[in-house]
Amino acid sequence: MPLRPLRCLAASAVLLCVPAALFAQGGAANDLLMPKPASVHFAADGLRVGPDLTIALVQTRSPRLQAATLRFLKRMEDKTGTPLPRSIGNATTGTIVLDVASDGEAVQGPDEDESYTLDVTSATVHLKAATTLGALHGMETLFQLTQPSANGYMIQAASVQDSPRFRWRGLMLDCARHFEPLDVLKRNIDAMAAVKLNVFHWHLIDDQGFRIQSHVFPKLTELGSDGKFYTQDQARELVQYARERGIRVLPEFEMPGHSAAWLVAYPELNSGTEPNGIRQEFGISDTALDPTREETYTFIGRFLAEMTAIFPDPYLHIGGDETPAPDWKTNPRIVAFMRAHNLTNNDALQAYFNTRVLAIVTKLNRKMVGWDEILHPDLPKDIVIQSWRGGESLAKGAQMGFQGVLSQPYYLDAMKPASVPYLADPVPADTKLTPQQQQLILGGEVCMWAEQVNERTIDSRVWPRTAAIAERFWSPQNVRDVVDMYHRLDATSLELETFGLKHLSSEDAGLRSLAGTQQISALRIFAQAFEPVPFYNRYLEQHTSQLTPLTNFVDAVVPDPPVKHRLALASAILTQKGDASSAASAAAELTSYFRSVGASVPQVQALFPFAPRLRPMAQRAQQLTTLSQIGVQAVQYLSSRQAAPSGWKANSLKQLETAKQPSAIVRFVFQDTLTELVQAVR
DSSP 5: P
Residues ≥6 apart with Cβ < 8 Å to 671: 656, 659, 660
What is the rounded CA–CA span in Å between residue 375 and residue 633?
55
* CA separation for the pair 486, 644 (Å, rounded): 33
Number of other residues whose CB lies within 10 A of the CB of residue 335 = 16
Which DSSP category does 363 fall into? H
Q: Return the active site residues.
A: 322
**Residue among 430, 426, 432 nearest 446 (CA):** 426
Query: How far apart are alpha carbons 351 and 267 in whole angstroms?
Result: 23
Helix runs in 37-109, H state only: 63-80
Q: Are strands 14-19 and 6-11 parallel, antiparallel or unpaired?
A: antiparallel
Amino acid at 207: D
Give the C-alpha distances (Å, rounded to integers) separating 203 from 319, 535, 619: 9, 18, 38
Does residue 51 contact residue 167 with C-beta atoms inside 8 Å? no
Give the three-class secondary structure for 387: strand
Give the SS3 label for residue 601.
helix
Q: Report how far residue 126's alpha carbon sits from residue 344's, in angstroms, rounded to the nearest whole number.
A: 63
CA 550 to chain centroid: 19
How is residue 230 annotated by DSSP?
B
Distance CA 521, CA 606 (A): 13
| Residue among 108, 111, 148 nearest 132 (CA) | 108
